[in-house]
Structure formats: C-alpha cells, structure tokens
Amino acid sequence: MGRPAKFSRDDILDAALALTAESGLGAVTMAAIAARLNAPTGSLYHRYASRDLLLAALWIRGVQRFQRGFLDALNADDAPAAALHTPRWCRRHPDEARFLLLHRRRDLVTAWPAELGPDLDRLDRAVEDALTSFIARHQGTDPETLCYAVIDAPYGAVRRHLLADRPPPPAVDALITATYRALSLPTP
C-alpha cells in the first residue's frame, strides 16, 4: 500500500488557478505548481499526465461549480434565480469566473484530453436537460428567449467587469432582473 497523497486534486487545481489569477495562463507550468505547493513535480504528473489534462480538469471543475447553483435554480422553476446566479457566483469566485471567461475550452489546451470527454458531455447535457425540462413545465416558453434571459444576458452583463479584473457591481443584478421581466418569462 502506497503513502497517502499529501496534496489532493483540489489542492493542485487551486494552485494552478492561483497562478493563473496572479500571472496569467503562461505561468501555469507543472514546475510552477509544484513549487507553489512545495511538492515534487513527479507527484503532479502522477495525478495529471500533462499540463493540458490539468488545465482541462481545472476548467471542468470550474464549470461544475458554477452549474450547481444555476441548475438547482432552473430545476426548482426559479429561472430568475438561475439568471442571477451568474453575477452572484462571479462575485464569490472571481478567479474561477475569470478563468472560465478568459479561457474557452477549445482554446485552453492543444487537444481536449479524451479521458475528460465524458465529463464534458455530462456538463453540456445537464444544461440542455434543465432547459428542456423547464420549457416542458412552462408550455409556451420560447427556448431562445429563455436561453437569452438566463445565459446570454447574464454572461454579457458580467463579461466587461471580469475582463477589467473587477467583480460585477450589484447594479448588474437589477439589469438582469429587468431583462428577464421585459421578456415576459415565467416567474416562480
């Protein structure tokens, strides 16, 4: 039986996220992460066979963390809360939010690691299923309008602020709420 791991997967991903936030994606190397953790580089490669795999895992973890609250609200028929989840989550998790915004999955790595393909499919399917279920429960809801209200408008509202390295101000919430109401979508 081997020794217990000194650093968890989350410890490693947290170190990579901190390096990204402080110095940009180029600073994220296996050696830099190891140095930040005071760990041997080999222990990182034991968990993540490549930098691409580590960055893809970091991206997936961020999306999973974001989606929890979004999906919970949508599945509870509270689409306005799903829309407001975006700025609120960005305020609580600014580094993760900037990482997701600035580094699209197709541009993040040279080739998406095949072993993470099923995780990626699950993430996409979860949102599609939640939107489809909401629409089925609220007959007459236009899918494009709903997607605009809970995904596109909130993303657009926070984007400028995250790119400027600042949290979205509270006024963004009022704008997202006004947009949702103006579209005459179902409210809880």
Per-residue pLDDT tens over the stretch 68-125: 999 999 999 999 999 999 999 999 999 999 999 888 877 778 788 888 889 989 999 9
**CA–CA distances in Å: residue 8 to residues 61, 78, 83, 89:** 14, 35, 32, 24
Say which DSSP state 141 is in: -
pLDDT at 64: 96
Q: Do both 83 and 174 map to the same domain?
A: yes
Is the per-residue pLDDT at 12 higher than 60?
yes
Is the per-residue pLDDT at 38 higher than 90?
yes
Does 3 reside within a domain? yes
pLDDT category of residue 4 using cuts at 50, 70 and 90: low
Longest dimension (CA), the chain: 61
Residue 25 tokens, joined:
């994606």
Q: Do both 1 and 79 map to the same domain?
A: no
Range of the structural domain that residue 70 is part of: 62-182
Q: Do both 142 and 69 map to the same domain?
A: yes
For the chain, the domain total comes to 2
pLDDT at 146: 97
Average pLDDT, rounded, for the chain: 93
Q: Do both 74 and 15 map to the same domain?
A: no
Is the per-residue pLDDT at 2 higher than 60?
no
How many CB atoms within 10 Å of residue 103? 17
Q: Determine the Cα–Cα distance for residues 54 and 74; give it in Å rounded to an integer.
A: 30
Q: Do both 127 and 162 map to the same domain?
A: yes
Q: Do both 6 and 67 map to the same domain?
A: no
Does 159 reside within a domain? yes
Q: Do both 20 and 70 map to the same domain?
A: no
Q: Do both 34 and 75 map to the same domain?
A: no
Q: What is the mean pLDDT of residues 11-18?
A: 96
pLDDT at 3: 58
Q: Residue 44 maps to which CATH number?
A: 1.10.10
Q: Do both 17 and 66 map to the same domain?
A: no
Q: Do both 38 and 76 map to the same domain?
A: no
Per-residue pLDDT tens over the stretch 122-173: 999 999 999 999 999 999 999 999 999 999 999 999 999 999 999 999 999 9
Q: Do both 1 and 67 map to the same domain?
A: no
Angle separating helix axes 79-92 and 51-75, nearest 10 degrees: 140
**CA–CA distances in Å: residue 129 to residues 101, 134, 140, 143:** 23, 8, 17, 12
pLDDT at 125: 96
